[in-house]
Structures are given as C-alpha cells and as structure tokens.
Chains A and B, each alone.
Chain A
Amino acid sequence: MVQEPEVSPEIARTLGVTAEEYERLQKILGRDPNWTELGITSALWSEHCSYKSSKVYLREFPTEGPHVLQGPGENAGVVDVGHDWVAVFKMESHNHPSYIEPYQGSMTGVGGILRDIFTMGARPIACMDSLRFGEIDAPRMRFLIDGVVRGVGDYGNCVGIPTVGGETGFHRCYNGNILVNAFALGVAKRDQIFNARASGMGNPVLYVGSRTGRDGIHGATMASESFDSESEQKRPTVQVGDPFTEKVLLEACLEAMRTGAIVAIQDMGAAGLTSSTFEMAGRGGTGMRLDLDNVPLRQAGLTPYEMMLSESQERMVLVAQKGREEELVRVFQRWGLEVAHIGEVTDTGRAVLEWRGSTVADMPILPLTEEAPVYRRPLAPPSDLEQRQRAPEVVQPEDLRGSLERMLATPELASKEWIWTQYDWSVRTNTMQGPGGDAAVLLLKGTPIGLAMTSDVNPVYCYLDPRRGGMQAVAESVRNLACVGAEPVGLTDCLNFGNPERPEISWQFREAILGMSEACRALGVPVISGNVSFYNETEDRSIYPTPTVGMVGVVPVISGGANLPTSAFANRGDRVVLLGRDRSEHGGAAYLRLLHGIEQGRPPEVDLDAELRLAKLLRHLIQQGHLRTAHDLSEGGFLISLAEACMGRRMGVTVEVPMVGADLYSETQARAIVACSPAELDRVLEAAEEMGVPAAEIGETGGEDLVVKSGGEALRAPVAGLHEIWSTALPRALGL
C-alpha cells in the first residue's frame, strides 16, 4: 500500500485547507484528522463545493415565486409550468478542466449538468452552452476552441439531447482562462420529482454506473485555485467522459425511478463519492456507513482517500427501500450497468467509512456540511474604476457600410453557425426554433405549451459596471424570451469571477449579484439554481466578471406553431417597426470596442420598467399572432440587429430612422425590431401606445439590399454580400 503522508497543518495547506480551517476541523472531530478525513474535508470545504466566499451574497437573490417548487440547494431547480408538468434546469461551469484539456473538460461539463437534471427524475430535453474564448490568435486558442466545440458536440450528440443554442464570445480577458458554462433543461410530471435526502435507517446505499478510477482526484480543489504556468501539468485532475454510459445510465435511472423503490438519488459530481454521500445524509439529517471494499474499482489498489475523492464520471449513488434492492438491480443490469451495495443509512449523524476490516474515517456530517466556513471577504472597487467609467469619445464612422462589414467580420458578431452545425439540435423532435435566434423554443409534447430558453451576459458591461452589467444580463434574457412570446419562469446562473480573496473581485461579485437581484425582482424572475466559479485567473490576470444568466420561459399557446415569429425577416412587404426609445449610449459598446479599441464608459442604462413594458408588449403581440419577426437589439445596437434580421433568410429591407452615424450602433436597452404584415400594422402601433412602449414604423422588407436612410441615403449594402462576410468570418478566423 502507498504510504500516506503524515497529517499536519502544513500538509493541510497544500490541499487548500487554511490554518483556521484546520483548527475548525480539529474542533469538530475532537482530535486530529487522518489523511482520508483531511482529504474529504478539503473537498467539502473547497470553494467549489462549499460556496464559502459567495454564500453571504447569494442570499440576496429572490428565490421564491408562485411557480417555484424547488429553489437552490438541490441538484437542480424545479418550476411548475402548468398542465401537470415541471421544468427542471441548471447551469454549471467547467472552466478549469476545459482550459487544461478542452475536449474532456467540455464533455464532462455537459455530462455533469445532464446528470444533475435526471437525478431529479426529469428527462433532459435540451442543452445550451455559453462559451467564452480568448483572442483567436492567442496561444493554444484554436486548439481550445476546437476541443471545446468537439467535446460539447460529441457528448450531447451521443446522449441524444439537442444542443439548441447558447452564446460564444471572444475577448482577450479569456486568453488564459476560457469559460465553458453548460445549461440543461429537463421536464417531468409534477409528481415524479426525486430528491437527494437519504432517509430510512437500514436502507441500503447502492452505487451504479462506471467504475471508480484515479481520474479527477481533487478536481474540486483545482477548480478553487488560480492558474499558473504549471497548470497544464494538472491534466490528471481532469475527468474523462463516456457519453454512452451516460445515455444508458439516464435511461436506466428513469426506469428505476418508476419502480418506486428509490428513496433518494444523487450523481457523483465534484468531489465524487464524498460530496454525494455527505450531501445526501446531510440533507436527510441521517448518517451513513460505507463499506469501501465494495466500491467497484477500475484498477486495484485505490486507497480510501482516492476512492472518496475520485471524480470518475457517469456514477450515481442511490438509497433504496430496504428489501426492494433486487428490483433496482434488475433494471440496471438490463441496461448493462454495474450495481454495488456499498453501505447503509444510519441514524448516527456520522459518516463511517470501513475498509479492509478497519474504520478509515468517522466524521459528523452536519458540522462538516452545514457549518462549513463562511467568509465575508474584504471588498473594494477597482482603483481605476473612475477611469474605466469615463465617457468615451465617440468616433464617427467615415464609411458606414465599411464599418458594418468590419463589425460583421469579427468573431464576436459573426455567425456562429460553424459551431452549432456540429451539435445535433433537432433530435427528440421538439425543436421548433433552434440555434441562431434570440431564444430556442421546444415543444412540450402532449401539452399546448412550449418552453423557451436563452443564455446571456455582456462581460464588458460587467467589467465597466458590474451592477449594471448584472442587471442587463437578466433584462436581456427576459427580452430574448419575449421575442419568442415566452414568459420567464425562472433563472439559473453561472457566476464566473476571479480570485475572491482580492477585494476588487469580491466587490465585483457583490455588485453583480445586487444588479441581478434587482432586475429579477423588477421583472418577476426567481433564481432557482446556479453555480459559482471563482479563481478564473491565470498568473494574476483575472477574467472580466461574467455572471452568465440562463433563463427558461413558457410560451403559453403554440397553435400549430403558426404564431411564432422568427428573428429574421420572412416576408416581402412586411412593415418594420422599431420598439423602444433611441438614445446615444456608447459605454462598452461593440462598435467602439471592436473597431476602435475603446472599452470604456458606463454601460447603457437599464430601465427595468421599460424592459417590463416591452416584454409584455412583445408577448401580447406574439400571442395575438400579429408578428412575423421579432428580434431584440443588443450588442452592436440597431444596425447589427437589422443586419441580422436581413441575413437570416437573406431578405432586404429599407428603413428610415432619425439616428445617424455611430448612433446606429448605440446599445440603448429595451428595444426590439419587429415586422408584421401591412394589415397588422395599426394593431401593433395601437397596442404599443396602450402599453406605453415608444414605437415607430421605420420601413418595409423586400429587395436585395439593406438600405438605411436618415435624411438622405446613409447606407446601402447587398444582403448577399453581408451574409457572405458574416457567415464565413468565424471559420476563416480559425484558419479552416
């Protein structure tokens, strides 16, 4: 057997356990921990598992609402969507592993989030991915992009869950630390939801799925540290994904759940067997005795320490009703899965691990899970905040068409089709609107409703003003859902930040949460699940604050799909209406950033009342079947959104607007472009007036060109040419 290190405060430090935390552990145990116990504690108290630096701020989020059945704290949140169905969803980061090993890192990111969904008893029906890469020419970046895209695709495609959208951004702040945030949505009948509370003394604890190997040991701890030049050496801490086993595990678990013999179930995610058993017993207020000799191993010779900390993928722990184990074993074996009886639920409140005839750990559960350290880290705004927020000098475009073409050719604004054609987005035959629009729409078969999903954040806004950036991310998500007629029912998030031990980062974190919370309250969207990823830094350079928002909404009535607009112009002769008020706002705007390298100023104001009115109006117009096209204005402002609406189905448009020059790229919020048949125009304008949304008819679709007049003709560009630039820019930049 491998000689285990002698336990000391110094060795604890190397596992990320501070001197104070070590003392706290000694107090809880009433003695010194052994090596296995120290390893378990380092995982449970890692930032990734314990949320110790974020907990105090996460309490700000509104988490309740009339439709919320399960808020944060379980594997995923649950919202009632009516007709006896619930939506189960969550988003999670897999940033650190994906930077070290992009293919396996992104694969296991998708795998982990899918397990979080089916652990709850729900069948996953769709995924989205929010990806942030560095500059394409940065070292390793093409390799990272290719690996992440292949990994996301290979996993979701094999399991057969459509990847229906997401977002991909490029910014130098991610050169040394990319972000991979996976968002999954599942559905279940209301009474089919499972939880992860171990109960019933003597109930057997079963282990199902892949065998345990040495991969991913201390993955959770790694995700709680910053990167340095040695990080590539950490490849062994990255887990390896097996989507085939995941698919079989998914089907087998859903079938096993229907037997009624499962009391509680949880996947082995971060910190593997440790967090799954401690969390299940902790939530149930029970204890657990584990017989580690029965844990199925991939190779002989794993120590208890390694078994407890392995993050081998595609594994589940479940508590069965005593006496009904065989029913479950039969289901799992039918699907070719291994099942092992690894322990029992006890009433001692302790986790007792036995191995080779001796007790290798004996720890009280609640003190370790509930009384984990909580930090209120010092906060301070960045010293250069004033400079960051100084109003930028707005450079006017000399050649409007040239500026538009150059914007569309940037990876940031270019079509992401090269990415999403590598994802199966139509399997399961629910996808009414897939990637490329403002939000995806999925049928919920057997009901008249659809579910919409979107993900959003603008990291540059968050860097310039994290509070406003947080608000904007929520507001834009609501607007995206409204553009397909969906009313939001809940929000999940992935809060990606730097090292919280630095006051500037903790300040950004708190500000972003306050902004998001304010927007959630005003727009009536509860936060039902989420994840925090700190330490996104390499060699002391932090990423921009990136609080990714994932949002799910309900489209109340899908009558044959006919009333759903798309984000592209679809018919010649449709009237185009601009909703919202135009202002000149260029702080953090894409135009100045991408064409002139200016990244400063306060981001555009977020008027939550205006957002609410706009969203209500859009939903009303869509439900009434008045709109053929709806597309919100976001990065790049009016002109980019207009061009996108043209390029989608290669349809020209002629509009006349009061905006001139750079203001065509102003990123004022709470705006959308809609198009309707001439017969509907009056109704659209009347409804807008009634509901307090400024609306102006600006032109008509048709022809081959995108034409903008303000006074005289300001811009004329053939849509085919713009489409060519926009659709080929990304593969071209990647050198393909």
Chain B
Amino acid sequence: MKAGVVVFPGSNCDHDAYHVLKHVVEQDVTFLWHQDEDLQGCDLVVIPGGFSYGDYLRAGAVASLSPVMSAVKRHAEAGGLVLGICNGFQILLEAGLLPGAMRRNQNLRFQCRDVFLRVERNDLPFTRHFEVGQILRMPIAHAEGNYEDSHEKLDRLEAARQVVFRYVAPDGSPAVSGDLGAQWNPNGSARAIAGICNEGGNVLGMMPHPERCSEEILGNTDGLGLFQSLVESGVGVLQ
C-alpha cells in the first residue's frame, strides 16, 4: 500500500501519521503538499490533525478549498481510501466529503485526554482488525469536536450505519449528555459520535488520534488496529 499524508500550512500531526505508517506498519509513505493536485498514486490519503491555516475563520474551512482537496475529492469518488483525523475530519466535513458540521466543544475549552470509543462496525477497510462492540482507549486533542447535524440527517446517518466510532464510558455503557455523561462524551457530540464514514465506506473522519496510540513505548496500542486494517485492505480501491 502507498499512503500519502497531506501537509497544509499549520498541519501538526503530519509527522506523527507519517511515522506510524512508515515505521510502525512499515508502508510506503509520502507527504503531499497542499498546493499539489497530484496524489502520486497513493492508495490511502491521510489528512492529519493540526491547525491548518490556524483554523482561522472556522476549523478546516480554508484548507477545504486548497488544490490538494480537489484531488482528494476525485480520489474519494473513485473509491480511494481517505482518512481524516481531528483537523482532517473537520476538513472533510468542510469539503463536503462527509456530512454534518463541528461546533466548539460544549465546555468551550480545548480538551486533551484519553476517551473511550466503541467500534460500531468492522466491515470497513479501516476497522477490520477490531471487533464490533470493542472498546478502545484513545487520546483526543481538540477544541471543536462537537459533531452536529439535523435530527433527520442523524437518523439517516445511523440507518446507513455510517457511525463508526462512538464515545462510551470505560465499561462500554452509553455516554449520554448531561453532567454524568459529559465526562465520557468529551465535547457534547450529537449521539456521542466520534467518527463517521461516507456511504461508500471509503472515507473515514474521526476526532480521536489513533496515531498517538499505536506504539507499546507510548503505553497504548489501541489505535494500531486501524492502521493494520488499512494495510490488510491492501490497495485502496474498494471492490
């Protein structure tokens, strides 16, 4: 598999994604510059976390209009794999590759801590290595991760099984909103949504950072399965 990590001015998890792909799951990886429309034959495009263009205006808004994103859209439409992490998820929403929008975290503060996720489906190239219902511990680090959409659209999202990761309590019980639930739903996301995919299942956006928990030496390997799944999916075009 060949992977490309997009670099926008202000991306700051680009090296982290590159590191895991290159040195942990040992794939061919390259950086993709935001002004280039050539994806260099990558099977997987990773849009990393960070503060593209400082998140000025609105998180992901400016980056979604850059030349590389036109190429990423074509790649996605052709069934190519796209993974957006944190700011990358925000950019995918702004670019219209995924439905919905982000609001600021409910407590209006940046939050960096471990959260717990339930895997909602494992029939995607991103989640093959997980079990349905498996609980993962993963770090988050964001100020705008409060996913929102209209009731009808959220219902449709659920019906189409597009919710891939959901915030839960450590024992897997639901992270409902309100004082108690808010502890486990760290940003107030609608239906505790942490990650969603498109209808085709080849574009995934998620707020937690799997690349920060894929190495034993960092004390947590719960994110590794996502990268291993991608490697196993081999070439990226979904059959």
Residues of A within 8 A of B (CB): 150, 153-154, 157-160, 242-245, 247-248, 335-336, 420-429, 431-432, 443, 445, 558, 560-561
Contact = CB atoms under 8 A, between A and B. Distances in A.
B19 A445 contact: yes
Nearest to B56: A244
A427 B141 contact: yes
B148 interface: no
Contacts of B49: 427
A157 B54 CA distance: 10
B233 interface: no
Which among A159, A423, A427 has the greatest number of chain B C-beta atoms within 10 A? A427
Interface in B54-110: 54-56, 109-110
B143 to A, nearest CB: 8
A422 B217 contact: no
B219 A561 contact: yes
A732 to B, nearest CB: 14
A625 to B, nearest CB: 15
Give the 4 A-B CB pairs with smallest separation, nearest first.
A160-B12, A244-B54, A424-B141, A158-B51
Given A425-B112, A427-B141, A157 B215 contact: no
B51 A157 contact: yes
A159 B12 CA distance: 7
B151 interface: no
Contacts of B179: none
Q: Is the interface of B mostly helix, strand, loop or mixed?
A: mixed
Interface string B202-221: 00000001011001111100
A243 B16 CA distance: 20
A421 B209 CA distance: 15
Given A421-B113, A422-B111, A429-B211, A158 B141 contact: no
Contacts of B10: 158, 244, 247-248
Contact of A154 (B56, B110, B211): B110
Nearest to B217: A561
A429 B19 contact: yes
A484 B60 CA distance: 39
A349 B79 CA distance: 65
Interface string B139-157: 1010100000000000000
Contacts of B56: 244
A561 B220 CA distance: 11
Given A427-B49, A432-B219, 13 more contacts: A160-B13, A242-B54, A248-B9, A420-B112, A422-B109, A422-B110, A424-B110, A424-B141, A426-B112, A429-B19, A443-B217, A560-B216, A561-B219
Contacts of A150: 109
B15 interface: yes
A446 B110 CA distance: 31
Contacts of A157: 51, 110, 112, 141, 143
A335 B217 CA distance: 34
A244 B56 CA distance: 9
A159 B217 CA distance: 24
A427 B53 CA distance: 18
Contacts of A426: 112, 139, 141, 209, 212
Contact of B9 (A336, A432, A445, A561): A336
Interface in B1-31: 9-10, 12-13, 15-16, 19-20
Contacts of B53: 244
B110 A428 contact: no
Contacts of B15: 428
B51 A247 contact: yes
Contacts of B111: 421-422
Contacts of A560: 216-217
B50 interface: yes
Contacts of B113: 421
A160 B12 CA distance: 5
A485 to B, nearest CB: 15
A429 B218 CA distance: 8
Contacts of B110: 153-154, 157, 422-424
Interface string B147-187: 00000000000000000000000000000000000000000
A143 to B, nearest CB: 15
Contacts of A153: 110
Interface string B187-230: 00000000000000000000001011001111100000000000
A139 to B, nearest CB: 24
B215 A424 contact: no
Which among A153, A157, A423, A431 has the greatest number of chain B C-beta atoms within 10 A? A157
8 contacts: A158-B10, A158-B54, A160-B13, A335-B9, A421-B112, A422-B109, A422-B111, A427-B49
A70 to B, nearest CB: 26
B198 to A, nearest CB: 27
B51 A244 contact: yes
A158 B52 CA distance: 9
Nearest to B141: A424
B228 to A, nearest CB: 17
A432 B213 CA distance: 11
B212 A429 contact: yes
Nearest to B214: A429
B90 to A, nearest CB: 14
A423 B112 contact: yes
A431 B112 contact: no
Contacts of B12: 158-160, 247, 427
Contacts of A154: 110
Which among A154, A242, A428, A429 has the greatest number of chain B C-beta atoms within 10 A? A429
A352 to B, nearest CB: 36
A429 B219 CA distance: 11
Given A244-B54, A247-B12, A248-B9, A424 B112 contact: yes
A427 B216 contact: no
A422 B13 contact: no
A421 B110 CA distance: 8
B223 to A, nearest CB: 10
A427 B218 contact: no
A154 B212 CA distance: 20
Contacts of B209: 426
Contacts of A335: 9
Nearest to B11: A160
B86 to A, nearest CB: 10
A157 B13 CA distance: 11
B216 A561 contact: yes
A127 to B, nearest CB: 13
A159 B50 CA distance: 8
Contact of B112 (A247, A336, A422): A422
A371 to B, nearest CB: 43
Nearest to B143: A157
Contacts of A425: 112
A66 B95 CA distance: 54
A157 B215 CA distance: 22
A158 B216 CA distance: 27
Contacts of A422: 109-112
Contact of A561 (B50, B51, B218): B218
A421 B109 CA distance: 9
Nearest to B12: A160
Given A425-B112, A429-B16, A243 B51 contact: yes
Given A158-B51, A445-B19, A427 B9 contact: no
Contacts of A420: 112
Contacts of A244: 9-10, 51, 53-56
A247 B87 CA distance: 15
Given A426-B139, A426-B141, A445-B19, A158 B55 contact: yes
Contacts of A160: 12-13, 50-51
A549 B54 CA distance: 32
Contacts of B9: 244, 247-248, 335-336
A245 B218 CA distance: 30
A153 B51 CA distance: 13
A158 B141 CA distance: 11
Contacts of A445: 19
A736 to B, nearest CB: 9
